[in-house]
A and B are shown apart, each in its own frame.
Chain A
Amino acid sequence: DGGITQSPKYLFRKEGQNVTLSCEQNLNHDAMYWYRQDPGQGLRLIYYSQIVNDFQKGDIAEGYSVSREKKESFPLTVTSAQKNPTAFYLCASSPPGPYEQYFGPGTRLTVT
């Protein structure tokens, strides 16, 4: 089955710790994206990558970092510099051009 997997589904961390969220796709898509979703807000773009070894900041990149060493994988690290890290994080991918974006099941991160 083709799709996007995110792990873990739930993640709990203490304040001040860095944490890495996993995103893997087997759709052979070039582009991958990380979004953050908070209650009452739309999805906000954190980082995106259109090709391996290249990525760009989205609208709310501060306190986050990414890497894109393989086409299939786009991990997101939430650093201790992120002031309000508790949120629902969604990974997505798409082929190049005007095509659909597909989403993973999400990771809910809680930092206390």
Chain B
Amino acid sequence: KQEVTQIPAALSVPEGENLVLNCSFTDSAIYNLQWFRQDPGKGLTSLLLIQSSQREQTSGRLNASLDKSSGRSTLYIAASQPGDSATYLCAVKRGNNRLAFGKGNQVVVIP
């Protein structure tokens, strides 16, 4: 069974610092990995999708890397802003078209 872990559950950083969020998964047989953002009481917004054949994806201040062999992905957010405060979830897509989610990293960016 695929297990996805995100540690720490919560973190705070001063505005302007780079954010580094980690995601680990137990089964390297994945189709892709997706990072999401969730604001309180809202649905999930897709940030980045990395296919299993890719090593990284970038969008603006966001960069996500994928190392399938070690079962890890890292989301970097450059020059964090208070508006980046949210919960970030990673999910891996399994062979049956299903996603397995981590519990998320709750981020607070302190002005």
- Assembly CA distance A100 to B99 (angstroms): 10
Stretch at the interface among B12-20, B61-69, B78-86, B101-109: B101-109
A-B contact count (CB 8 A): 58
Known contacts A98-B51, A100-B34, A101-B34; A42 and B46 CB within 8 A of each other: no
Asked whether, in the complex, the Cβ of A90 is within 8 Å of the Cβ of B44, the reply is: yes
Judged by a CB distance under 8 angstroms, whether B4 is at the interface is yes
Asked if A42 meets B34 with Cβ closer than 8 Å, knowing A48-B98, A50-B97, A101-B46, the reply is no
- Find A42's partner among B45, B51, B98, B104 (CB 8 Å cutoff): B104
User: What chain A residues lie within 8 Å of B36 (beta carbons)?
Assistant: 103
B residues near A42, Cβ cutoff 8 Å: 4, 89, 101-104
Among B43, B49, B98, B103, point to the contact of A104 (Cβ < 8 A): B43
Interface flag for A55 (CB, 8 Å)? no
Residue A105 at the chain B interface, CB threshold 8 Å: yes
Task: Give the residues in chain B near A4, CB-CB below 8 Å.
Answer: 43
The answer on a CB contact under 8 Å between A102 and B98 is no
Q: Mark A52-92, 1 if CB is under 8 A from B, else 0.
A: 00000010000000000000000000000000000010101
Contact of B46 among A43, A88, A102, A106 (CB under 8 A): A102
Q: Which residues of A contact B (CB under 8 A)?
A: 4, 6, 31, 33, 40-45, 48, 50, 58, 88, 90, 92, 94, 96, 98-106, 108
- 22 A–B contacts, CB within 8 A, in A order: A33-B99, A41-B103, A42-B101, A42-B104, A43-B91, A45-B98, A50-B97, A92-B44, A94-B97, A98-B32, A98-B51, A98-B52, A98-B93, A100-B46, A100-B49, A101-B93, A102-B46, A103-B43, A103-B46, A104-B43, A105-B42, A106-B41
